[in-house]
Amino acid sequence: MSIAKKLVGQTAAYGLSSIVGRALNYLLVPIYTKVFLPEEYGVVSYLYAFVGFFNILYTYGMETAFFRFANKAGADRDKLYNEVLTLIMCSSVVLTGILLLISGAVVEYKGYPQEYLNYINWLAIILAIDAIVAIPFARLRLQNKAIKFASIKLVNILLTVGANLFFLVVLRNIYYGDYLQELRPLAEQLYNPDFGIGYIFLINLVANALLIPMLWKEFSVLRFELNLKLLRPMFLYAYPLLFMGLAGMVNEVIDRILLEEWLPESFYPNRSNMAAVGIYSACYKLSIFMTLAIQAFRYAAEPFFFSQAEEKDSPQSFALIMKWFVIACAFIFLFISANLEDFALLLRRESYREGIMVVPVLLLANLFLGVYYNLSVWFKLTDKTRFGTYISFGGAAITIIFNLLLIPVLGYMGSAIATFICYFSMAMVSYLLGNRHYPIPYPVKTIVAYILLATGLVWLALDVEIENFWLRHAYHLGVCAIFLVIVWLRERPRFSKMKA
């Protein structure tokens, strides 16, 4: 019990830092969509899409390799820490140096405005910091210092959010005369309206740099060592993780890159491609409610799956978990989609709401991503994780192909549909393979019925036009209530049997 209690506590700490972090970061979306035009926000989303790929390249699986090899019997954890952190420091300096050298040529080749040069240079430094601090964070996990790990992560996020609020809300409003005019001279010294989205990149850089003093105890024990012969087995373990990470990142962010590069220039009248990226990215953020639910589920469920694997009735338990997971996610999909006009208010400028209809598609896509995570229990419990690699690469190929096919025809809706096809396909392939290698009696008909019910109710909510504000909202809430009533009527007999 003490071990289980400790595991639950650590899972909660790690999970809380991730989930709360995502939620706090989402608070920035209303700020950004009020302060910045879609084209400006598109620049941020476009460049950070590349950051996702470079983050994988900078650590090249060594973070996980360190964690794995340090847990082997007889491992010299201090020596491994020195070796891996020294290696990551050296490679990060080299990679960032290369990016700093070529950034000017990239800006000139792409014809970007000159301020892009600063953005790219700052991001290059951020990438190095992120990679370097990843190893001390891994060491904290290795030492079971979950509270310190979570605290530093949350402080970093609070600094980022706080700085954005200070510069882009408080100082900006004082500068433009909205309130506290007695502080306007101070605001004029600290806030420069021409700096624009540069605040986003610079705040991120400063906040990430502050991670180094926060992790100073972990850095102070470092002794520079570099033995490539010792590191060779770790390289062999890590390089498949590099490719898996890149494949996963394709599914997450490649649509922003392809949307800017592949969208016909005249597709959206009076909108540049970068503005389309900004609109799509802002609307994508509304699917975070589904993402948070899935993230919370993963932190809670994965330890449970492993702990129950040897139990006689574990397949039935896994099947029951899947059913209720789908019911919960289907309701999230329905509730947000049915009340889309209210959630759209989080996008402060009207121009961002042009792409709001991608949200139901992305919510449904993320529902199937959650189903895939649930189904992936079979290859994790049977140690056949190579199938996870195959499925990830297949999903990446589907994402690229369908983005290339659909973007010229449907614009950012094509990217949303490509995301749905990718995650749906990954879930289906995982289900079919799982049936062969680790059969679990999922109630497929019931699960499909609930997803179809939620989808039908979403269509019903969005298709019926009601002019009166209160009647319209009552109707949308009524549609959501229909789903809950059907679930209650269908599942109540099963609850009665369980109580009996």
* Residue 436 near residue 458 (C-beta atoms within 8 A): no
Judged against a pLDDT cut of 70, whether residue 346 lies above it is answered with: yes
Angle between helices 28-35 and 273-284 (to 10 degrees): 150
pLDDT at 184: 86
CB atoms within 10 A of CB 189: 9
pLDDT exceeds cutoff 90 at 207: yes
pLDDT of residue 87: 96
Residue of higher predicted confidence among 373 and 413: 413
DSSP string of 107-162, one letter each residue: HHHHT--THHHHHHHHHHHHHHHHHHHHHHHHHHHHTT-HHHHHHHHHHHHHHHHH
Q: What residues does each domain of the chain span?
A: 1-226, 254-500
* 3-class SS shares of the chain: helix, strand, coil, % to 5: 85, 0, 15
Give the pLDDT band of residue 7 (cuts 50, 70, 90).
very low
The pLDDT tens digits of the residues spanning 239-279 come to: 888 998 999 899 999 999 999 999 998 899 888 999 999 99
Enter the pTM of the model. 0.91
Arithmetic mean of pLDDT, 431-437: 92
* CA 486/CA 268 separation, integer angstroms: 41
Q: Which of 431, 415, 312 is nearest to 358 (CA)?
A: 415
**Highest-confidence segment of 170-174, 297-301, 397-401:** 397-401
Q: Are 475 and 464 in contact (CB under 8 A)?
A: yes
pLDDT value of position 3? 45
